[in-house]
């Protein structure tokens, strides 16, 4: 398809709610053609939004500062506001340099955009073809084979790629016919980068054999996007059947009634919805085959890239990577300090009240005559006996109370002298509970939030 500025108007209609369209300007052919076309539309009165640009200086090429100067000069010529930012990427291997530069670039874009601005990138159809091959090499599913999305959210703003329907050849012809100058990045010829190898070695061979491959592959991209949309809809329905009051916890009984592929689909969307890192085939397969199928009475966990997924009883929990704090012994005066902060471990509360004589509404209270307690933590072989019950190990008591395994080492224990008199949330020791009509303390522990992300 031959390119001309008027063809951009249909693409830009999806950004009609934005007050400013901002071109991500590298100085290369694609972004310069896009900037020129938008400037033409602006002069003709067809572009209603304000026009601006952003240039990211990666500092990786010796000519990077010259490229920035080129973009600044072009924008001055067109009277287009330009923001620039310089990145500090440091040293990196060839294998991860592209990814690091890309991540840093998008982080910079997000930080520089305002809520009413829409970022326009110059990716074209040949970029889409290269991406499709890279995704195939990585074993991607429908989402990956859906390629580069035309639009998506970017922080509080939006991102749009209005050139995805055009080949690089069409943009080149447009730039030459309009006398547009651009920068040729010599690193684009370096075959050690995967994308450059695909562009210069692989795709020319494919085009020589199958000249119409772009149209066929574009159909694959569209079908993959449609399949991914349907899988997303299915996951949203399935998530409702496993949901709990906290979206970072799901129920396993309904999940296990699904087929394994359907389980993976649900788990993918659940984990992505809470921002869990590194959600891919390996993680999802280990979850379905090792964690959720473990015995219900056996805790099973999978640590993963700054997070942890743990099965406990009939639920699956998404936990953050929370290093155990240094749990220090503390003194607690119930009368002078109703709330005690436990550094890195939540807090204790001691509310004073009279034990209700109504047996149906009776809750064990710690005797009111007690003042200063010592807060300690679990030690091996410790036993505890509540009134009318045999002495039991703390391990057994924690299991009976349904305490999550990751909280047990953090559970504060309250001592009077050397005697364990209270385990908040579990019980009061025999001989230390208030009697009917007697004033006492309701002891509670608010543990830290160790789940991944935040409750919404």
437 pLDDT band (50/70/90 cuts)? confident
pLDDT at 98 over 90: no
Dihedral (C-alpha) 331, 337, 338, 342: value to the nearest 10 degrees? -50
Return the pLDDT at 359. 45
Of 290, 320, 350, the residue that ends a domain is 320
pTM above 0.75, yes or no: yes
Distance CA 180, CA 39 (A): 12
Same domain, 106 and 253: no
Q: What is the DSSP letter of 148?
A: S
From CA 59, how far away is CA 63, in angstroms rounded?
8
Residue pair 311/353 in contact by the 8 Å Cβ criterion: no
The single residue listed with the structure tokens 């129920």 is: 251
| pLDDT given at position 357 | 53
156 within a domain of the structure (yes/no): yes
Q: What is the C-alpha separation between 222 and 197, in angstroms, rounded?
A: 25
Which is more confident, 369 or 252?
A: 252
User: Are 298 and 369 part of one and the same domain?
Assistant: no
Domain at 302, CATH number: 1.20.59.20
Phi-psi category of 407—alpha, beta or left, where left has phi over 0 and alpha has psi -120 to 50?
Answer: alpha
Q: Which pLDDT value is given to residue 360?
A: 42
Q: Work out the mean pLDDT of the chain and round it to a whole number.
A: 92
| 87 neighbors 97 (Cβ within 8 angstroms) | no
Residue with the larger pLDDT of the pair 16 and 224: 224
Instruction: Give the per-residue pLDDT at 94.
Output: 53
- Model confidence at 362, pLDDT cuts 50, 70, 90, reads low
Contacts of residue 266, defined as CB under 8 A and 6 or more positions apart, other chains included, come to 235, 238, 239, 242, 255, 258
Q: Provide the pLDDT confidence category of residue 203 given band limits of 50, 70 and 90.
A: very high
- Residue 148: pLDDT over 60: yes
Quote the pLDDT of residue 361.
45
Tally of domains in the chain:
3
Question: Reduced to 3 states, what is the DSSP secondary structure of residue 353?
Answer: strand
Q: Give me the phi and psi of 24, to 5 degrees please.
A: -80, 100
Domain that holds residue 400: 330-446
- Same domain assignment for residues 159 and 194: yes
> In this structure, what CATH number is given to the domain that contains residue 117?
3.40.50.620
Tokens, residue 291: 């964690």
Block residue for tokens 């026009």: 51
């Amino acid at each position: 398809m031959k390119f001309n500025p008027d063809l951009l108007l249909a693409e830009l209609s999806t950004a009609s709610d934005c007050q400013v369209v901002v071109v991500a300007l590298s100085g290369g052919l694609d972004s310069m053609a896009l900037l020129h076309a938008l400037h033409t539309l602006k002069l003709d009165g067809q572009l209603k939004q304000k026009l601006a640009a952003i240039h990211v200086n990666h500092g990786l090429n010796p000519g990077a500062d010259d490229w920035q100067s080129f973009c600044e000069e072009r924008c001055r010529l067109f009277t287009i506001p330009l923001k620039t930012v310089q990145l500090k990427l440091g040293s990196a291997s060839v294998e991860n340099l592209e990814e690091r530069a890309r991540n840093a670039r998008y982080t910079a874009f997000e930080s520089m955009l305002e809520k009413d601005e829409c970022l326009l990138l110059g990716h074209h159809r040949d970029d889409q073809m290269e991406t499709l091959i890279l995704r195939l090499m990585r074993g991607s599913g429908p989402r990956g084979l859906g390629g580069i999305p035309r639009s998506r959210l970017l922080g509080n703003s939006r991102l749009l790629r209005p050139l995805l329907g055009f080949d690089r050849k069409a943009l080149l012809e447009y730039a030459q016919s309009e006398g547009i100058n651009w920068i040729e990045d010599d690193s684009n010829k370096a075959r050690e980068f995967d994308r450059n190898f695909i562009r210069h070695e692989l795709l020319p061979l494919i085009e020589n054999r199958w000249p119409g491959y772009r149209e066929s592959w574009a159909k694959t991209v569209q079908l993959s996007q449609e399949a991914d949309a349907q899988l997303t809809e299915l996951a949203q329905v399935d998530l409702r059947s496993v949901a709990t009051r906290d979206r970072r916890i799901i129920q396993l009984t309904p999940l296990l009634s699904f087929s394994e592929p359907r389980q993976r689909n649900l788990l993918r969307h659940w984990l992505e919805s809470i921002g869990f890192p590194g959600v891919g085939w390996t993680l999802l397969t280990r979850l379905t085959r090792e964690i959720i199928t473990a015995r219900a009475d056996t805790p099973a966990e999978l640590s993963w890239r700054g997070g942890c997924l743990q099965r406990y009883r009939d639920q699956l929990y998404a936990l953050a990577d929370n290093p155990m704090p240094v749990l220090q012994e503390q003194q607690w005066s119930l009368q002078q300090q109703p709330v005690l902060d436990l550094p890195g471990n939540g807090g204790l509360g001691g509310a004073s009240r009279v034990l209700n004589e109504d047996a149906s509404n009776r809750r064990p209270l710690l005797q009111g005559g007690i003042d200063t307690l010592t807060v300690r933590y679990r030690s091996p072989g410790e036993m505890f006996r509540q009134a009318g019950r045999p002495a039991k190990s703390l391990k057994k008591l924690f299991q009976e109370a349904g305490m999550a395994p990751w909280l047990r080492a953090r559970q504060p224990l309250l001592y009077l002298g050397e005697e364990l008199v209270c385990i908040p949330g579990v019980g009061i020791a025999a001989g230390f509970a208030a009697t009917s009509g007697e004033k006492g303390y309701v002891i509670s522990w608010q543990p830290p939030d160790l789940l991944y992300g935040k409750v919404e």
